[in-house]
Structures are given as C-alpha cells and as structure tokens.
Structure 1
C-alpha cells in the first residue's frame, strides 16, 4: 500500500511542478519522471542486498516491464484528467500485481500443501507406492526429470529406504498434445537410480488424474494390497486424494514437490509480478478448477 500511495503522491507533485506548460514539458517530464520515480521507490522501499537485486531484476523482466508500463498509463490518464479510464486501469494494475505476487502464490499454494507437510520417511512400510505421472519430461530426444521431478525422486528414495518394495507408475502419451510416455520415462529413470525391474509396476492407458485413479484402484483390488502410498506434488495432492477415495482406493498421501512456504511479506519485492510466482498461482488455481470439475 505504501508503494501505491507513494506513486499517487509522486504524480500529483510532478503535475503541479509543470502546470504552467501543459504540452511538451509535461510529456518530457512524464516520460522521464515516472520510470525514475518507480525506480526510486524500489530503491527506497525494497530490502537491501540480494533481495534488492532480485527486485530490480524482476522489474526488468517481461512481466515487470508490463507492470511498469501499466503504472505509466495510470499516471498518464491522471495527468490528462481521463477519469473514465483511470478506474479500469487501476483495477487491471492491481489484478496484474496480484496475479504475479510471490506473497499471493504462497497464500494460495500453502492452503493446498500445508496439510501434507509430514515426513514421508516416518511412515511404516507399504505394500506398494503409487507415483503419479507428470514428473518427467523430454527435450531434444533426452529424457529428464521435469518441473515435478521430485515425485520420481521421492519414489526411488522410499524404495531405497525399504519403505516401498514396489513402485507403481502410470502415464501415457496424449495424441495431438504430447508424444512423451511418462510411465516409460519414469521406469527408465528409476532403473538408472538403482531400482530393479522386478520392483517396478508400469500401468498403461491413463492420461488424466481421474483415469489414473480408476486404473490404480482396480490394480490395488486385483493384487490385494492393503497399505498403499500415493506420491504426487503437494499442490496436486488434495485433488488426487479425493479422486482415489471416490474410486474406493484408500491410500496414504506422500507429498513431494512443495512449491510454497509460510506467507511472508517482502515489501516492494512482492508487488512486482514475477513469472515463477505467476506459474505457482496458475498451478494453485488449476488444482481448484480441476477439483470443481471432478477431474
């Protein structure tokens, strides 16, 4: 809020200082003064050191540049007394700021992840551990861990700790969208991590979490497994757990890939939209929409 109040005060003072000349002087002062004022506010309110560097860097990234441009448009609308445009610009500016805020990302993500923060290695041994797809990727013909690769790593760690005698993987290529076979890639990486072939169960045919729940519930009943763990990203766990339980599969949540932390306000740094924060907000919203859709 200090930033928004300071920006308004800056524009008011700047407007009054050049009231006598309402043409070229105003345009030049605005073109130079607004970016300079925003930069000075960043220097004045952002924490010193590493975080300050990160803040200024965020302002130089695409989202940060758009954010600065929106601030400039607000100043220009006020300068030219375009009161009809000003409210809409302010609403867009605030929404854009919130959509890329690290503080908002921690709030939304944490509300999904917090309930699953227990230590998976403190659990009793399982008959099997299911690792949902999405933890691998492929680029330039090379298989690699993806953004949710901690899922795959946690499965291998549970095996080597003696908690998961069997690891179960699913995931199939989606025609017209991706040719990447997640189950095959996961199995290959597990083998490279020292998990023997006889400890891996690979199930084909699932493309969505809902389809995975159906296939795994059927497999659990067929094999008579009594204690089964479910590994997925922490944000994804509430939706995955609900889908499994709807299919009659009682599983123990083993969350991986935590992306949020306890919300902590970092001043100006949390006002500048960042791509990583926007991605986390997108993920949290996606999970909520998916839960409502039942998929």
Structure 2
C-alpha cells in the first residue's frame, strides 16, 4: 500500500496560513492590551467616570480603526513584512495625531486671533456697526433656521447690541444653490432674540473675500437709513475711523478672525476685531484618555488645517 504524502507546496501554504493566523491573533491581543491599558490608566489617574468615557471612546469607529491599524502593524512585524508594517505604522500614527483632541486643540489655539482679554470688554465707545459674518446657521429640514457649530457668533453680536455697544448690525452671506442666504437667516435669528429689525442690514457674499468686497461697497456708499441710525452725514465716511470715519466691529470665530482681518486689510477696510468661539486648548496636564482618537478632534484639526492652508496661500 502506498503512503499518502501531502505535496510540499500544500504543506507550505498550510504553514503560511497558520503563521498569518497566529500573527493576527497576537496583533489583536496587542491592540486589546493597548485599549485595556488606556482605560485602566485613565481610571487610576482620573477615576471611574473618565475611565468609562475612555472605554466608550474606544468603541467609536475612529478609535476602532486606530486599534486595527495597531494590530495590523504588530502582525506584519511578526511576519517580517517590514514595508507593509511600516506603512501601517505610519497610518496608525497619522490617525493618532490627526484625530487627537490635545493636538487638534493646540493647533486651533495657535491659529486663533490673539486676544489678551475678552474682546467685548475692550470696547470703550459705541460702534457705528458690527459686521456679523455668515456661516453659523442654516435652515433645517423643516425650513426653520438653526445654529451650527459657529452659532456663538450670532449670540455675541446680539449681546453687543443689547449691551449698547453698537448702533447697527450687518448680517452677511449669500448661499450657493437653493438654500436661503445666510444674511437673511441671520436677520431672522437676530430679530427672534430681541434685536429690532430696522437696525439690521444685509450684505451679500459667497465667501469671506466676496463679503469684504461687498462690505467695502456698502461703506463707500452707505444707505441713508443706516446713516440716520449712526447719526452721520455721507461725507463723514470717506475715511477710516482714525480720520473720523465709521467705527466698525467684525464678529466671527476666533480661528477664522485672522483670515477675515487679513482679507479686510487687503480691501482697505478697518475693523475692530471681535472674536468669539475661543475653542483652542492651552497646554495642560497630560491625561491618558487624550491618546484615544475621536471624530470630533479630527473635525477640529480639519478646521485648523483649513485656516493654515488659507494663510499659506494668502487668502
């Protein structure tokens, strides 16, 4: 009777599959150990509640991708697939950095318009107008205006009016497509919280640069109603505030304010910077759960990156 022998190539494939399986198991165990360690260290450092939040964060999609990349990196190193392991390691580090709340917060803070104190507290006299840049609200599916992530802009502008810090408000923005213009949505929301309709003016513009062009045209030839409200004659506004011209404040998010002021200067406009939404994080105590990536941090990092790119290209 002839002995049955497994062909050598089949035997090699079987060993290869076993090797890959063992490497993947080790990689997954390593990722699990990393996750458990982060939760445990968070609990030791900050207590049960933060540890529970850390565990929840690790179950979110971005964190799971991060852990899978770590598992893949370990598995490839065990299998001595150095190029692939290096690629996965770089991907793991990229996700860990770009979606890290501490890194994103510090990047955002470095780009925020510098302010030594609360901008509103520095106003010593009443402004002729406060420009409220659009982009902070939109209609929901019921065609009802609702605030977005930058909604603090509108509240801040309304607070300036109610505090007697400005005589008028200028709402800006033009929508692309079938959506309603941000300038009109701004007017509706401002009136809904007690700002009189007759002190609100609208200026179009599909982006910040276009808004500055339209604002320049507005102040070069202001409406008679606006002139009456600020108590001035038309020839007064032929120069900037230093020469007796209008005193205008500009309200937008702190991280966007640097770009807005740069574009205003490009168009020859002089504004008092009034930033809000100071969301950048200062350097603080290290916490282990800060190492867990999140989608929110990724969004913050994207905002900071957008502003940095705008600065590089001079926009």
Q: How does 1:208-247 map to 2 (within 5 A)?
A: 208-223=207-222, 224=237, 225-247=245-267
The secondary structure found in structure 2 opposite 1:78 is: helix
Structure 2 residue runs without a partner (length 5+): 1-17, 223-236, 238-244
Distance in 1, matches of 2:76 and 2:116, equals: 47
Deviations 1:88-127 (CA, angstroms, capped at 9, x unpaired): 2211111111000111112110111261363133212211
Q: How does 1:39-58 map to 2 (within 5 A)?
A: 39-46=35-42, 47=45, 48-58=47-57
Matched, 1:190 2:190: yes
CA RMSD of aligned residues (A): 2.0
Residue of structure 2 in register with 1:143 after alignment: 145
Residue of structure 1 in register with 2:309 after alignment: 289
Larger Rg, first or second structure (1 or 2): 2
Correspondence for 1:152 among 151, 154, 165: 154
Q: How does 1:264-275 map to 2 (within 5 A)?
A: 264-275=284-295
Deviations 1:247-279 (CA, angstroms, capped at 9, x unpaired): 111101100122222133533322221111111
Q: How much has 1:286 moved relative to structure 2?
A: 0.5
Q: How much has 1:142 moved relative to structure 2?
A: 1.8
Q: TM-score scaled by structure 2?
A: 0.80
Deviations 1:41-69 (CA, angstroms, capped at 9, x unpaired): 11332233333222221111110110010
The secondary structure found in structure 2 opposite 1:84 is: helix
Q: TM-score scaled by structure 1?
A: 0.86
Residue of structure 2 in register with 1:71 after alignment: 70
The secondary structure found in structure 1 opposite 2:255 is: coil
Does the Cα contact within 8 Å between 1:220 and 1:249 map onto a contact in 2? Answer: no
Are the structure 2 counterparts of residues 188 and 208 from structure 1 closer, same or farther at C-alpha, using a change threshold of 3 Å?
same
Residue of structure 2 in register with 1:250 after alignment: 270
Q: How much has 1:187 moved relative to structure 2?
A: 0.2
Structure 1 residue runs without a partner (length 5+): 1-21
Distance in 1, matches of 2:184 and 2:20, equals: 65
Does the Cα contact within 8 Å between 2:203 and 2:211 map onto a contact in 1? Answer: no
Deviations 1:121-153 (CA, angstroms, capped at 9, x unpaired): 321221100010011122112211111111111
